[in-house]
């Protein structure tokens, strides 16, 4: 490849094109970005991870596309890959004026340029070409694409210049906590309040499916979006469905099998206080170093309390399940628990579970960004992003 470098095209050349990678080019792209993203895996394990994840419902059967920026005059396989990325076609809820529809939006990820090709404008050209392609890509019956999202790891300005504007990107970090899962009134580490753990139940996959992803629950979210869209502008949300959660869990399961084999199957997928209708589901991310090992709260579900007494009960229940997450983090040797964009009520629960929990406003990594094109199709100037929690990350 290096010997070809001096022939590389200028990034504004008309010969540059963005195309779907061949199977071999997909592997070549994974191998290249693996240098940045394989973390604690070997390269072969990282490639195996990608082949494992692509079988998940959220992305299988062409749901995920690998794109490569190439010279159109060169034949597939063997042409230099100037830059690469992926898009995932996602069924997404969009509410406007009290009506809701399910549209195909795209999640863009794995934007990558090999170190030796950087600084020549290839990633920028790729993003410009991608924006044009996604207008119609994988839409049914010629529908326009109304929006796409990505999670920027390079700050807020580059993608904003191309239409992907940043949305709220805060999180709280809680420390892992020792303790048996069902210890009554277990105090985590002497610096937090005592939390009643007797009401907290572990959730399996099936439990999460029943309590957080069932048809009535999803219908409830749709109703909330409809209502929100009557009061303001267009409102979107990724359905917090089983396919989303499963895709995240599959990552966790793949890594855990390799890196925590002594612990066996990842059985616990979240925690609940069913009597108070409070639930969270989580997954674990294994980074290259211990400090990058995170237990992510993918989604927090509760019903808005209608009285101060109810609020107190919900906060207490939430604190219990967050404590359970802290214990899970400790058991699986995670560095911390992270929860994205918590509501004021969830924030109260976080500070009950860990008085020293720290809030961070991310400026560089995992910034949710959305490119809104609904304005060109009669859906108003902007869109609110509801349920902007970790489960939507891709
Ligand atoms: C980020 C990356 C794709 C940029 O590739 P590139 O081909 O060198 O980018 P370009 O030459 O097209 O530059 C595009 C713009 O991004 C900016 N940029 C590049 N790397 C950046 C970084 N790490 N942080 C902030 N901005 C960055 C450039 O300054 C440039 O800005 P401009 O348009 O105002 O001139 C490449 O550095 C990379 O693969 N990094 C590792 C993986 C990664 O972080 N990917 C991004 C995931 S969101």
pLDDT in tens, 118-140: 999 999 999 999 999 999 999 98
Write down the pLDDT at residue 180. Answer: 61
User: What is the 123 CA–ligand 1 centroid distance (Å)?
Assistant: 6
Closest atom of ligand 1 to CA, residue 119: 11
Report pLDDT digits (tens) over 169-179.
Answer: 999 999 999 98
What domains are there in the chain, each with its CATH number? 2-167+366-392 (3.40.630.30), 170-361 (3.40.630.30)
371 closest CA partner among 96, 195, 112, 167? 167
Q: Are 221 and 387 in contact (CB under 8 A)?
A: yes
Closest atom of ligand 1 to CA, residue 127: 12
119 Cβ below 6 A of ligand 1: yes
Write down the pLDDT at residue 188. Answer: 44
32 Cβ below 6 A of ligand 1: no
Q: Low-confidence residues of the chain, pLDDT below 50?
A: 1-4, 181-190
User: What is the 11 CA–ligand 1 centroid distance (Å)?
Assistant: 13
Mutate to test the pocket of ligand 1, among 113, 161, 363 (most ligand atoms within 8 A of CB): 113
Using a 10 angstrom Cβ sphere, with 0-12 exposed, 13-18 middle and 19 or more buried, the burial of residue 116 is: exposed
User: What is the 121 CA–ligand 1 centroid distance (Å)?
Assistant: 8
158 Cβ below 6 A of ligand 1: yes
Cβ neighbours of 8 (radius 10 Å) = 17
Write down the pLDDT at residue 141. Answer: 85
User: What is the 234 CA–ligand 1 centroid distance (Å)?
Assistant: 31
Q: Are 150 and 369 in contact (CB under 8 A)?
A: yes
155 Cβ below 6 A of ligand 1: yes
User: What is the 384 CA–ligand 1 centroid distance (Å)?
Assistant: 27
166 Cβ below 6 A of ligand 1: no
154 Cβ below 6 A of ligand 1: yes
36 Cβ below 6 A of ligand 1: yes
User: What is the 366 CA–ligand 1 centroid distance (Å)?
Assistant: 14
Name which residue sits closest to atom 9 of ligand 1, judged by CA: 123
User: What is the 124 CA–ligand 1 centroid distance (Å)?
Assistant: 8
CA distances from 22 to 27, 28, 77 (A): 9, 10, 7
Name which residue sits closest to atom 27 of ligand 1, judged by CA: 154
d(CA 148, CA 106): 5
Name which residue sits closest to atom 13 of ligand 1, judged by CA: 121
Write down the pLDDT at residue 49. Answer: 98
Torsion angle defined by CA atoms of residues 184, 189, 190 and 196, in that order, rounded to the nearest 10 degrees: -20
Cβ neighbours of 24 (radius 10 Å) = 11
Write down the pLDDT at residue 195. Answer: 83
Please report the DSSP string for 302-332 in residue order.
-PPPSSHHHHHHHHHHHHHHHHHHHHHHHHT
Torsion angle defined by CA atoms of residues 50, 241, 139 and 99, in that order, rounded to the nearest 10 degrees: -160
């Amino acid at each position: 490849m290096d010997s070809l470098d001096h022939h590389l095209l200028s990034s504004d050349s008309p010969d540059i094109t963005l195309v779907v990678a061949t199977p071999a080019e997909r592997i070549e792209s994974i191998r290249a970005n693996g240098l940045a993203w394989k973390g604690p895996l070997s390269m072969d394990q990282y490639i195996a991870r990608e082949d494992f994840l692509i079988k998940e419902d959220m992305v299988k059967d062409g749901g995920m596309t690998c794109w490569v920026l190439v010279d159109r005059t060169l034949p597939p396989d063997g042409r230099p890959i100037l830059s690469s990325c992926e898009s995932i076609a996602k069924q997404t809820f969009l509410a406007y004026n009290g009506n809701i529809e399910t549209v195909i939006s795209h999640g863009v990820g794995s934007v990558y340029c090999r170190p030796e090709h950087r600084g020549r404008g290839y990633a920028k050209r790729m993003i410009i070409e991608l924006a044009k392609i996604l207008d119609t890509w994988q839409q049914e019956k010629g529908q326009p694409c109304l929006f796409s999202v990505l999670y920027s790891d390079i700050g807020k300005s580059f993608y904003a210049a191309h239409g992907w504007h940043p949305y709220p990107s805060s999180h709280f970090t809680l420390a892992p906590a020792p303790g048996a899962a069902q210890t009554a009134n277990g105090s985590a580490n002497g610096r937090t309040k005592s939390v009643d753990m007797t009401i907290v139940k572990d959730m399996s996959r099936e439990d999460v499916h029943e309590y957080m992803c069932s048809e009535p629950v999803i219908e409830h979210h749709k109703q909330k979006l409809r209502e929100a869209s009557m009061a303001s502008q267009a409102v979107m949300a990724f359905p917090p469905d089983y396919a989303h959660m499963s895709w995240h869990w599959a990552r966790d399961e793949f890594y855990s099998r390799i890196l925590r084999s002594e612990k066996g199957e990842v059985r616990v997928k979240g925690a609940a206080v069913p009597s108070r209708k409070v639930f969270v589901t989580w997954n674990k991310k294994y980074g290259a170093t211990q400090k990058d090992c995170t237990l992510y709260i993918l989604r927090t579900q509760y019903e808005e309390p209608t009285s101060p007494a109810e609020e107190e009960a919900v906060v207490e229940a939430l604190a219990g399940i967050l404590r359970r997450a802290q214990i899970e983090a400790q058991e699986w040797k995670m560095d911390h628990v992270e929860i994205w964009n918590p509501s004021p009520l969830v924030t109260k629960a976080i500070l009950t579970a860990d008085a020293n929990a720290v809030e961070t406003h991310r400026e560089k990594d995992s910034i949710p960004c959305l490119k809104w094109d609904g304005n060109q199709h009669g859906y108003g100037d902007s869109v609110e992003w509801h349920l902007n929690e970790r489960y939507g990350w891709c």
